[in-house]
Structure 1
C-alpha cells in the first residue's frame, strides 16, 4: 500500500462532536480480537478475587490491616517499593507498545474502552441498531420509548453495581463482602465506596464515553511524542481512495475519475470516538480498527482490494522499509526488561520476616552493684508469611552475655509483635563504650527464614 501523505494531501479538521455518537455495531477481524480480549479481561477481573491459595484469598489488598496478599507472598507497607517497580515496568511497557503499535492499548484493553463497548452492546440489544436508536431518541416519549430506556439504564446500573462490587472484592475478602451484601450488613464505608465506583462506571461508560478518551485522559495528549515513522497506526490510503464518491457496484469507477472510497461513511459510523479517519491522523483515534473492518466489508462488496484503511506506518505508506534498529523502540524494550529483572531480583532477595531494633533513648544502659551492664531493647518482628510462625532470638558479637527474652515467639500470619529483650554482660570485659552486636531472629519451622540486625551494647 502506497500513498502520498504530504501536507497538501491531508485534510485536517479540528475534532468537534457536539451531538451524541451513535456507534454502529461492526463485525470483523479486529472486532473479534477485541471481543475475545474483552471477555478474557472481564472474566479475569471477576474470577481473580475468588481464587484461593493456601486456604486464603489469593489476591487481596487488605487496606484496613495493611496486608497485601498476592498468592504465596504477603506485602506490608514497608514492601511497597514493589509498586514503584510495577509502575515503572508498566510505563516503559506502555511506551514500547505505543511506539510500536500506536494507541493499541486504548483500542483493545483499556478498561474505559472495554466497558464503553459493553454498554454500547447492551444499548444495541435493547434499543436496536444505529438508525433505530437515532429514530428512538428523536421520537416523543411514549410507552415504548420509556420501556426501552428504563431497561437499558437498569441493565447499565446492574453492570455498574457488579463492577463496583467486584472491584471492592480486591480490598475486602470476597466471601465476606458478598455474605454481608446478602444479609444487608454492609458498613457505611463499604456502601459509600461501592456507590462511588458504581456512579463512576455508569457515568464514564454510559454517558462520557469517548470524552474520557479525548478530553480527560492525559495519554491522548502525550502519546504522539512516542510515535515515529515506523509506528503502526490506523491510516487511510489517500492516493488509492481519492477522489471519493458513490457509484454503482459494477461501474468502472476509474473511468469516472473516482478512487476506491465509495464514501459510504461507515468508517465514521463505527468509530467510538466519532472521527473520520479519512481526514488524516488525529489524536482522538484510539487505534481500535473498527473502521478497518467496516471498510473491508465495503471493499468486499464492491470487489475492490482490502485495506484501503489499514494499520500502516508512515514509512510503509511511502514504500520505505522499516528500520530494523529503531533506537527508540529498542530503548523502551530494554528499559522494560531491565525494570522487570530488577523487580524480580528484589523479590528474590526479599525475606519473609522483618525485624527492627528499638532502643530506649532515655536509658541506653544501667549498671548493677556487681559491675554488670544491662541494655534494654525492643525487637519489632513482622511475620510476612501466610502461616503462623515461631521464632527464637539469639545474640552474637558479645561473649558471656545473658539474654533475657522469650524462648519462643509466636506470631500470626502477617502480624507484628514487639518483643522486650534485655542483655546483661560484665562491663570489665567490654573494651569499648559502644560494642557492636548482632541480633539473630530465626524461624523454628524453617531455618532459612532468619534476619540479622546490627546494634550496639553500651557500658561505662
Structure 2
C-alpha cells in the first residue's frame, strides 16, 4: 500500500450535549374542526364506546348476554355457548375479521383507523374532555406555557380526574366481560373484589389513561402494526385522503392582487396540519401516519367556502383520479376478497345453524381388549364422555348400533344433563356366542336428546368405536 496516498483523518467536534439518538416528542395540540366527516366520526366513536360499555350489562335467559367465563371454560354470546372444543369457530371468526379489514383497506384505505378503531374512539373522548376543561388549541398552547397557578391547577385536576374516571369505567367493563359484571362492580366499590380481578382492572385503567391521554398518536405511529403493512394492500384505485397538487400549487397567502402571477387555490393557512391527529401535512403526499380521519378535508372545505373557491382541494379520491385516469371500482383483488368473505360467511353461518350443542366421546378400556364371563359371553368395556353444550337441560337416550347379537348390558339407557354438565358414563357391550357368531366389528353409540313422552328426537350425536372378540 502506498503510504503517500493515505486518507487524511480530522478530529471531529462532538456535540457537547452528547449524541442525540432520539428526538424529543413534540406534543400535538389539535384544533377542533366541524364538518360532515367529523360529525360522522363523532357518531361512530360514540357508538363504539357505548356498545363496549353497555354490552356486558345485557341479560339473556337470566344470565349475562356476553360472558367469557374462563374458569368454567365457556364463552356465552347471547343464545350461543362455545366450549374449548369449539375453538374452530373462534379461529374462523378471526380469519373473517382479518379478511374484512383487508377488503376495507383495499377499498378505502385506513378508514377503520379513522372511524372505529378503539384507540381513535377513546382518544377522541379524552380530547373532548381536554377541550372542555382547557379550551381550543390556542388556549391549550397558552395554558401549557403559563406558570402553575390555582386556575391552571384546577383545570388540570378536573381533566385528569375525568380521564381517570373514564379509564376506570373502561377497565371495569373489560374485566366484566370475563367475570359477571353485576357482581364485579359492587365487589369493587366495597373492597371485596379478588386480587387478580383488581390487578387487571388497574392494568387496563392505567393502559387506557396512558394510551388515550398521553401517547395518543404515538400508538398509531410506533405501536400499531397496521400502519406498517397497509401500503402493501393499497393500489392506484384505493380511496384515500389526498391533496390535489395540480389545483392547489403554487401556494400563496392572502388575497390575490391584480397583475400577480397566477397561484393555486391553497392559501397556505396551515389548518390541515393543525387539525391532523398525527401532525402530518397531507400536502406532502400519502404518508403512513395518515389515519384517514378526514379532519383536513373538513378544515380545507371551510377555507375554500370562505374564499369562494370550489371545495375538494383535499378530498377522498384515488391516485388514478388525481392523475386524470379512470378509477376502477371493481378490480380483481377487491373482488377476490369479497368472494372469499361471502363464501366464508355463508359457511360460518351454516356451521353455526347446524351445530349440535352436544359432544360425545367414546374411550375403550385400556386394561383389556375383551373379557369372557363365566356364562361364556364376550364383553367390551367403554367410557362415554358426554357434554351438554346447550344453555338448557336435556333428557337423553343412549342406543347402540352394530351387528346383530351385540347389546348394551349396563349403563343408563336414559339420563338427564343440566346446561353445561359433563358426565362420564361407563357402559358394557356384550355378545353371546351361543346365540350366533360373535366377531370383531365396528359399532356406533347414539346419544339423542328427547322431548316429551314419545322420545321425539330433538338433536343427536353419534360416535364410532370397535368391538373386539377372540378369533373363532
TM-score by length of 1: 0.93
1:376 to 370, 376, 381: 381
Asked if the contact 2:409–2:428 (Cα under 8 Å) also holds between the matched residues in 1, the reply is: yes
Provide, for residues 162-213 of structure 1, a one-character-per-residue CA deviation record: whole Å limited to 9, x for no partner.
Answer: 0111112211122122232243211001101111111111111111111111
* d(CA) in 2 for partners of 1:245, 1:432: 99
Q: Say yes or no: does 1:337 pair with 2:354.
A: no
* d(CA) in 2 for partners of 1:161, 1:110: 19
1:422 to 414, 424, 428: 428
Provide, for residues 292-323 of structure 1, a one-character-per-residue CA deviation record: whole Å limited to 9, x for no partner.
Answer: 00111111111111111000101111221212
* d(CA) in 2 for partners of 1:290, 1:17: 26
Shift of residue 150 of structure 1?
1.3
Asked if the contact 1:402–1:425 (Cα under 8 Å) also holds between the matched residues in 2, the reply is: no
Q: Secondary structure at the match of 1:444?
A: strand
After TM superposition, what 4+ stretches of structure 1 lie above 6 angstroms from structure 2? none
Provide, for residues 392-444 of structure 1, a one-character-per-residue CA deviation record: whole Å limited to 9, x for no partner.
Answer: 21112143414311243222212211111122221455756532111111112
Counterpart position of 1:11: none
* d(CA) in 1 for partners of 2:321, 2:187: 58
* d(CA) in 2 for partners of 1:350, 1:219: 34
Asked if the contact 1:88–1:339 (Cα under 8 Å) also holds between the matched residues in 2, the reply is: no
Counterpart position of 1:354: 359
The residue correspondences of 1:259-298 to structure 2 (distance < 5 A) are: 259-298=264-303
Q: Secondary structure at the match of 2:384?
A: strand
Q: Secondary structure at the match of 1:246?
A: coil
Counterpart position of 1:51: 58
Aligned residues: 443
Provide, for residues 132-186 of structure 1, a one-character-per-residue CA deviation record: whole Å limited to 9, x for no partner.
Answer: 1111111222212222111111111111110111112211122122232243211
* d(CA) in 1 for partners of 2:156, 2:245: 41
Q: Secondary structure at the match of 1:68?
A: strand
Counterpart position of 2:404: 399
Asked if the contact 2:399–2:413 (Cα under 8 Å) also holds between the matched residues in 1, the reply is: no
Identify which range, 127-136 or 16-25, moves more after superposition.
Answer: 16-25
Counterpart position of 1:235: 242
2:105 to 98, 101, 124: 98
Q: Say yes or no: does 1:200 pair with 2:207.
A: yes
In structure 2, the CA distance between the partners of 1:273 and 1:431, relative to structure 1 (3 Å rule), is: farther
Shift of residue 85 of structure 1?
1.1
Counterpart position of 1:71: 78
Counterpart position of 1:159: 166
Identify which range, 263-272 or 419-428, moves more after superposition.
Answer: 419-428
Asked if the contact 1:427–1:459 (Cα under 8 Å) also holds between the matched residues in 2, the reply is: no
Counterpart position of 2:16: none
Stretches of structure 2 that go unaligned for 5 or more consecutive residues are 1-22
Counterpart position of 1:4: none
In structure 2, the CA distance between the partners of 1:138 and 1:367, relative to structure 1 (3 Å rule), is: same
Shift of residue 348 of structure 1?
2.6
* d(CA) in 2 for partners of 1:364, 1:52: 50
1:20 to 10, 18, 27: 27
Identify which range, 290-299 or 51-60, moves more after superposition.
Answer: 51-60
* d(CA) in 2 for partners of 1:324, 1:90: 22
Identify which range, 201-210 or 339-348, moves more after superposition.
Answer: 339-348
Q: Say yes or no: does 1:214 pair with 2:224.
A: no
* d(CA) in 1 for partners of 2:408, 2:379: 9
Identify which range, 429-438 or 61-70, moves more after superposition.
Answer: 429-438
Q: Which has more radius of gyration?
A: 2
Q: Say yes or no: does 1:319 pair with 2:324.
A: yes
Counterpart position of 2:460: 450
Identify which range, 397-406 or 165-174, moves more after superposition.
Answer: 397-406
Identify which range, 306-315 or 258-267, moves more after superposition.
Answer: 258-267
Stretches of structure 1 that go unaligned for 5 or more consecutive residues are 1-15
